[in-house]
Structure 1
Amino acid sequence: MTDVATLPPGYPVQWEADVVLRDGSVAHVRPITPADAERVHRFHARQSEESIYMRFFAPLRQLSDRDVKRFTNVDYVDRVALVATVRDEIVGIGRYDRVTRNSAEVAFNISDHFQGRGVGSVMLEHLATIAQEAGITEFTAEVLPQNRKMLSVFSDAGYEVERSFEDGVVSIRFEIKPTERSEAVRLSREHRAEAVSMRSVLFPDTIAVIGASRRPDSIGHQILANILGAGFNGAVYAVNNEAMEVLGLAAYARVTEVPDHVDLAVVAVPAAQVLEVVEECAEAGVKTLLVVSAGFAEAGAEGAELQNRLLHTARGAGMRVIGPNSFGVINSDADVRLNASLAPELPPPGHLGLFSQSGALGIAVLASAARRNLGISVFASAGNRVDVSGNDFMQYWIDDPQTHAVGLYLESMGNPRKFSRIARRLAATKPVIVVKSGVSSYGVPPGHRARQTRVRPEAFDAMLRQAGVIRVENVHQMFDVAQLVVHQPLPKGRRVAVVGNSDALGALTAEACVSWGLEVTHGPVSLPSEAKGEQFSEALAKAFADPSVDSVLTCFIPPLVTPDEDVATAVREAALTSDKPCLATFLGMRGVTAQLSGSDSEPEGRREVVPAYSMPEDAVRALAAATRYAEWLGRDRGIPVLPSGIDRAAAERVVTSALETHPEGRKLTLEEVTELLAAYGISLWGSVPVRTVDEAVAAAEALGYPVVVKSVAPLLRHQPGMGGIRVDLASEGEVRAAFAGLNDRLAPLAANTFVVQKMATPGVPCVVRTDEDPLFGPVVSFSVAGPPTELLGDIGHRIPPLTDVDVSDLISSVKAAPMLHGHRGAAPVHRAALADLIARMSVLADNLPEVASLVLNPVNAHPGGVDVLGAEVTVAAPPRRKDPGRRSLT
């Protein structure tokens, strides 16, 4: 990040971002400053004559100081320029100059050495987002027709580009408002770039172990030994400035002396030496750093500062960083055989991708997989997660044909919005299983870059459900699910057959099915304990053939007569004849066993392994998780909500005006709240504050009978019951009596602050709210008002942006939802109107991070629509969101 002390006035620090380019390397994007003058001169001097002519339409071999001063001195409002830098040298310049109130001319100049890496696309993306914030809606540009690369930057970005040709120049015009296509292009480019950046980690041609000691008990020695012991198929170099050779390899004093290009550098030196090593890696052109060294942010404030300098140095040189304090990475691919980790052996190859933030837990995760004979495709430990996170590996796993399911052990989450977005895409193709014990600040380990969150844990659960992620409570449950979804087809429904050789075990299994929402439609079938293998085969064949069965659960106590192998063979062979999933409970057996695995001679591509569980409850829990995931896969995801009649500019004026006078934030007045909501098509019912009975009568006359008189004192606001309100007042006399009664009762409590409001149609009172969370960003919540909200915490949550299906699910997620659908003979509420209100709230929350809190309470839902009877809004200067509308590493 730029040194704040040297920044010009008005410099927008929030525009700075590290971005992954098309080749997987990293560049830093930031606003230009007058201090960049010499860098601009050097940049221009390195450009070819062709590139100079394409940019300036003239052979300007040298820029004048006057030109450079004009280029580098901008106001960051009407004249904006960004530079992309690598190793503090400019590799790209993008700028716009406002031409009219809504239009600006845009231009780019990309280094010859960085063309084709996506620098121009990134800068267009960032400039478009900045311009929209300034009220610009359209970009124009003039490009020479032979400049096909720049022409493709505009057209390939997903915008609707208009072109005209005049006087030998192509004039371009396009609206910069994001479209479905432009968003798809942006996310696809982000995905490809971040996935490519992981390939240098998982498929390196060359590895250098820096700190490869000759001492067997040192970390560097162990990792080098593990790399060599796994039979890594690339070149390996030892870097040690105190030895001539390590483990039979010639040792080099510095990585810059290695006679090869290094893709992956494993850094295993004391923390105090890491920065010097990182700088040498930058000089050597290393692509990725795997820092296993400890002693960084987990060790205290001094270590945290060292960790920040590590990140800044590495990203400034275009490198990705795994760690520090990482356990390592593993790729079991036969063409790679990479074990750059502290695991003494390369796990058997398989189809489960694993990610763990903790090194110690990484050991436990791999050990648990080994005990179950569960093969691994890729394993990675992020350590302190200073740069590379689970999001990056998920981007890789989306397209990895060797990975059929993914398990993530998360101790913290730095960017939940991006996680949700990537996880949803990954889960659409393969199961994603997450172990996350909590989201509070107490659960964030020392050293992890993570903001504190104020949301309830239920919001995190809701985010995972939105994304189709399977959440489990521990590693044991993660592997219970993994061994099922890796080796068996997904269930097509909730109907289950139970077959076993014990009445008690069958009943226990059936009860577990019911408790997890599964339906036992076949059995429990209990064979005699002395039954032969043929009897087991016959019973299982009937279960698989039953059209009312979607999954088969087998549960066996080790028989006294029939050998275990015969039963296991019967289970496996019966499962091979069907496309229905099969799970086996053999008391004392867990994982993928030889008896339940197919032989190498069986047809390729068939599900040959039946997962075994030691207890039926484990099997049923795993089956229920897989069933819910299959249901999510089969559901319509919906379309993003885009309510009509939204005036975002009007809403922004309300928020900006409030923060101009109170930068620290404040509650909006009733008039401001009404104006803000109206900008998003939400009508707030009027209420008239009254202090005397005569004012109450006058207000009632103005509003029209019937009316309500209610206290708005904080003591009684939104409390269950009717202690502070009188309803359905149809005359002056009723208003006078109601006011007097309430005043006498509430004055001793200092709660006699009243308003008069029009009487609403009888309906179901609801609460709709949004909160801007430092970690999650906007969170939308819905509940039925009164005891369900206040006493039972029956509140649903979703993370915008929402689809129409998300909104519908949010309404149905609360236990009190039947009250909306005609409970006990009441007429159902207008669900579509309620959904439209929530959709508008979600878009408002997504658009306006300055809205710290917005509560609609009560929302009266009735058969004819919804009425917003009360609203409170608090605005504040927002924290920078972790997933902005442009590519950025956070």
Structure 2
Amino acid sequence: MTATETLTPSATVERVRQLFNPKSIALIGATDKSHWSLSIYKNLIDGEFPGKVYLVNPRGIVVHGQQSYATVADLPEVVDLAFVMVGTGVVIEVMEQVADAGIRSAVVLTSGFGEVGEEGAALEARLVQLAEERGITVLGPNGNGYVNVASEITPYGLLLPGKLKKGSIGVVLQSGALASAVIQLAQTRNAGLSLLVSMGNESMVSMTDVMRYLVEDEATKVITLFIESIRHPEDFLEVSRMALAAGKPIVALKVGRSEGGARVAKAHTGSLVGDDSIIDAVFRQNAVIRVDSLEDLIVTSELLSHAAPLPGRRIGFVTPSGGACEVISDRAEDEGLLIPDFSAETEAKLAEVLPDFASGHNPIDVTGYILIDPLLPIKALDAIQDDPNIDEIVYVADLPHEVPPDFDAAVARYSLQGDAIKHAHKPVIVMSNTITDITPSGRAVAEATDFPGVVGGIHHGMTALGRAAEWSERYRAAIAAGAGATGGAGATGTPIAVDAAPGETFAERKAAALLAENGVPMVPNALVDSAEAAAEAAERFGYPVVVKLAADEIEHKSDIGGVRLGLADADAVRRAYDDVVAAGRGAGAANPTALVQPQRSGGVELIVGAVRDPKWGLVLAVGLGGVWVEVLKDSTLHLLPVDRAQIKKGLESLRGAKLLNGARGTEAADIDAIVDVVAGIADVALRLGDRLESLEVNPLLVRGSEIEALDALITWK
């Protein structure tokens, strides 16, 4: 357990705040021979760090043109932050000196710890123990430090590209090398940062600790994450809900996609639940915006930093190009954004300002006539700003890439556009045609005119708009339901006590009985131990019937010939009984018997299963079932608990959802009834407690409002 984990959340935030806001810094291991030392010192000086920077070198010589001190103990004051960049073998000794000097925050740049193997991990454990015992908050080791842009505090190990633009995007990265790439991309897109942290090994201060700080940080509006692994799942969920309640979007690029394999090989559900698909479910349920590129990470964060929450999905577009209109229309469909028709009144206003050959439909193409009348886009913007059919406006424009021939004229033109955008009656998002660097010339014009931020390119911009619209809907729903409410309500009944041995499997007979006892609609069945008894049961149910092997040792009966379908008379049932029992013995079952069930036909088969993930707990999978489970893998996942609205939305997201809606004249399913049954199965899984490894219903047969589980399997840890 780390020091930050033993503290209360408020105490953790306060210690992280002290770490990121020092008034004095000591660079320990400073030397002109190290590019790390040179870079950090230059970053602090060029970044106009308002406090004192002390250099510590064991020789006490002049370093970087400044007199150094031989030890931390020689410093003239107790500094707020020690930046440690000494050799791996002396880090512990130096940290003891840091503790003796009363310094309470440290960044350890040095590598050679847990990332290199057991010996390094042992050294890292010593570092953490020392920090815990002496009350030091440590960022790293093996990290580049941080850049507090909002407060001009830049103890960062790689050279920064000049003075960074201040903004409201807080960035947390589990990557040292990519941190500089993110900084460079943010600079070239003129996206302002509040804080950027390179986490290193997270030996003490974790990603979620920094996220918690950013939720409370007044300078931060958007939390941006580059994630390799989520080390504290419960904390991540809690902080994500806090961020949503605070109205701060989280944008995440999660790398390391993998086919996690079956969590539980005994259940078909395992084939649907992989590491990355669970992350998708976690993010979706907790309103974390997932992107899949660094470009989308920055573009989406930049848009949200000045346009969240969006009032809706209905967008009016003003563009200077017919081709741009077509690209926009295609991308809007991809992202679930709406391009409604303008009202008759708006079209009349547009007819007054646009040339005769221009179209007044949405998206608007003001055409090449803009070269004759540069104010035409502003006039179009003014004409649509009160349209009742749109929620916001996208204004396609870009800052100049070259030095304008007449800088003052350019400033005047962009000032007019900027004023029109700021004073529009609806939110206006400026978007460029392509994602290109905002050059020094463009930045100079933007600064001279206070022109709003430009979202980078139609492709990435429309991705960002779609994500922003979805997050905004989740935010409003969470506020309406109670701030931060994203998950379900948990189990609704008392815990279910089950007499099951560790590692035991409940095949259909026992699993079906357990589910039926707890409200899950199961197909009727009879357990029989002879061919004659099977025939008698079939007569009671009425033909046709199904005969299935009953043997707890055999999880997947159909794989060994243990299922016989469509049996229409007593003789067929007797033969089927003998066949499935023989198949069971051949597969190693000790005392196989059989189940007889009425045959069901028609409808749509679903699979509903809950599998315990070792990191995230129970994960519910719902998808097309029967024999197609592992072929189609058409499923939606939910981290339990989950509410009915999310179950319903998941069902509607299936590729096979049209089958439930009554495709090709078939009977439409009662979606709400399906949701009730799925929620009931999820509730049973939760009530079974921590011993449950997996619970699966496959298939769940849906015929209109008739819903029945035809088979079930339960495994125990």
User: Within 2, Cα distance between the matches of 1:561 and 1:239?
Assistant: 51
Q: What is the match of residue 516 of structure 1? A: 335
Distance of aligned partners of 1:252 and 1:735 in 2 relative to their CA distance in 1, 3 Å threshold = farther
Q: What is the match of residue 790 of structure 1? A: 630
Trace 1:123-202 onto structure 2 (pairs within 5 A).
Answer: 190=9, 192-202=10-20
Q: What is the match of residue 30 of structure 2? A: 212
Trace 1:562-641 onto structure 2 (pairs within 5 A).
Answer: 568-569=414-415, 571-578=417-424, 579-586=426-433, 589-590=436-437, 593-594=442-443, 597=446, 609-613=452-456, 615-636=457-478, 637=485, 640-641=488-489
User: Within 2, Cα distance between the matches of 1:413 and 1:431?
Assistant: 18
Trace 1:185-334 onto structure 2 (pairs within 5 A).
Answer: 190=9, 192-213=10-31, 215-247=32-64, 251-334=68-151
Q: What is the match of residue 364 of structure 1? A: 181
- Displacement of 1:471 in angstroms is 1.1
- Displacement of 1:327 in angstroms is 1.2
Q: Which of the numbers 804, 812, 815 marks the counterpart of 2:655?
A: 815
For these two proteins, the number of residue pairs brought into alignment is 659
1:395 partnered with 2:243: no
Q: Residue type matched to 1:576 in 2?
A: K
1:697 partnered with 2:535: yes
Q: Is the 8 A contact 1:222 1:342 kept in 2?
A: yes
Q: What is the match of residue 475 of structure 1? A: 294
Q: Is the 8 A contact 1:802 1:842 kept in 2?
A: no
Q: Residue type matched to 1:309 in 2?
A: R
Trace 1:701-716 onto structure 2 (pairs within 5 A).
Answer: 707-710=545-548
Q: What is the match of residue 252 of structure 2? A: 434
Distance of aligned partners of 1:702 and 1:242 in 2 relative to their CA distance in 1, 3 Å threshold = farther
Q: What is the match of residue 737 of structure 1? A: 572
Q: Is the 8 A contact 1:800 1:843 kept in 2?
A: no
- Displacement of 1:680 in angstroms is 6.0
- Displacement of 1:253 in angstroms is 3.7
Q: Residue type matched to 2:418 in 1?
A: R
User: Within 2, Cα distance between the matches of 1:792 and 1:588?
Assistant: 36
Distance of aligned partners of 1:803 and 1:288 in 2 relative to their CA distance in 1, 3 Å threshold = farther
**Structure 1 unmatched ranges of 5 or more:** 1-16, 21-25, 28-117, 119-188, 443-452, 603-607, 660-664, 877-890
Distance of aligned partners of 1:776 and 1:196 in 2 relative to their CA distance in 1, 3 Å threshold = same
User: Within 1, Cα distance between the matches of 2:504 and 2:445?
Assistant: 64
Deviates more, 1:669-678 or 1:491-500: 669-678
Name the SS for the 2:467 alignment partner. helix
Note the alpha carbon deviations across 1:634-653, whole angstroms, 9 max, x for none: 225467324543235x24xx
Q: What is the match of residue 160 of structure 1? A: none
Q: Which of the numbers 420, 429, 434 marks the counterpart of 2:237?
A: 420
Deviates more, 1:487-496 or 1:672-681: 672-681
Q: What is the match of residue 781 of structure 1? A: 621
Trace 1:443-482 onto structure 2 (pairs within 5 A).
Answer: 455-482=274-301
Q: Is the 8 A contact 1:432 1:470 kept in 2?
A: yes
Q: Residue type matched to 1:584 in 2?
A: M
Q: Residue type matched to 1:307 in 2?
A: E
- Displacement of 1:483 in angstroms is 2.1
Q: Which of the numbers 320, 325, 332 marks the counterpart of 1:501?
A: 320
Q: Is the 8 A contact 2:512 2:711 kept in 1?
A: no
Distance of aligned partners of 1:666 and 1:343 in 2 relative to their CA distance in 1, 3 Å threshold = farther
Q: What is the match of residue 696 of structure 2? A: 855
User: Within 1, Cα distance between the matches of 2:413 and 2:433?
Assistant: 10
Note the alpha carbon deviations across 1:230-289, whole angstroms, 9 max, x for none: 333334333322224544655444435545444322111111211222333344443233
- State the TM-score, normalized to the length of structure 2: 0.81
- Displacement of 1:746 in angstroms is 11
1:492 partnered with 2:350: no
Q: Is the 8 A contact 1:556 1:587 kept in 2?
A: no
Q: Is the 8 A contact 2:519 2:680 kept in 1?
A: no
Distance of aligned partners of 1:230 and 1:566 in 2 relative to their CA distance in 1, 3 Å threshold = closer
Q: What is the match of residue 46 of structure 1? A: none
Q: Is the 8 A contact 1:794 1:816 kept in 2?
A: yes
Name the SS for the 2:385 alignment partner. helix
Distance of aligned partners of 1:470 and 1:242 in 2 relative to their CA distance in 1, 3 Å threshold = same
User: Within 2, Cα distance between the matches of 1:839 and 1:216?
Assistant: 66
User: Within 2, Cα distance between the matches of 1:288 and 1:588?
Assistant: 40
Distance of aligned partners of 1:858 and 1:775 in 2 relative to their CA distance in 1, 3 Å threshold = same
User: Within 1, Cα distance between the matches of 2:518 and 2:298?
Assistant: 46
Q: Is the 8 A contact 1:455 1:773 kept in 2?
A: no
Q: What is the match of residue 355 of structure 2? A: none
Q: Is the 8 A contact 1:371 1:591 kept in 2?
A: yes
Q: What is the match of residue 153 of structure 1? A: none
User: Within 1, Cα distance between the matches of 2:474 and 2:249?
Assistant: 11
Q: Which of the numbers 356, 359, 365 marks the counterpart of 1:526?
A: 365
- Displacement of 1:569 in angstroms is 4.7
Q: Which of the numbers 872, 879, 883 marks the counterpart of 2:713?
A: 872
Q: Residue type matched to 1:583 in 2?
A: V
Trace 1:661-700 onto structure 2 (pairs within 5 A).
Answer: 665-668=503-506, 673=511, 677=515, 682=520, 687-688=525-526, 690=528, 692-700=530-538
Q: Which of the numbers 494, 500, 524 marks the counterpart of 1:646?
A: 494
User: Within 2, Cα distance between the matches of 1:668 and 1:629?
Assistant: 41
- State the TM-score, normalized to the length of structure 1: 0.66
Q: Is the 8 A contact 1:765 1:861 kept in 2?
A: yes
Q: What is the match of residue 765 of structure 1? A: 605
Deviates more, 1:835-844 or 1:266-275: 835-844
Q: Is the 8 A contact 1:797 1:810 kept in 2?
A: yes
User: Within 1, Cα distance between the matches of 2:330 and 2:180?
Assistant: 35
Q: Which of the numbers 159, 164, 176 marks the counterpart of 1:343?
A: 159
Q: What is the match of residue 175 of structure 1? A: none
Note the alpha carbon deviations across 1:185-208, whole angstroms, 9 max, x for none: xxxx53x23322211211123333
Q: Is the 8 A contact 1:828 1:863 kept in 2?
A: yes
User: Within 2, Cα distance between the matches of 1:672 and 1:263?
Assistant: 64
Please tell me the root mean square deviation across aligned C-alpha atoms, in Å.
3.9
Q: Residue type matched to 1:814 in 2?
A: L
- Displacement of 1:378 in angstroms is 0.7
Q: Residue type matched to 1:708 in 2?
A: V
Note the alpha carbon deviations across 1:633-672, whole angstroms, 9 max, x for none: 2225467324543235x24xx35xx13xxxxx34246676
Q: Residue type matched to 1:436 in 2?
A: K
Name the SS for the 2:92 alignment partner. helix
User: Within 2, Cα distance between the matches of 1:207 and 1:846?
Assistant: 53
User: Within 2, Cα distance between the matches of 1:369 and 1:746?
Assistant: 67
Distance of aligned partners of 1:388 and 1:565 in 2 relative to their CA distance in 1, 3 Å threshold = same
Q: Is the 8 A contact 2:546 2:563 kept in 1?
A: no
Q: Residue type matched to 2:472 in 1?
A: A
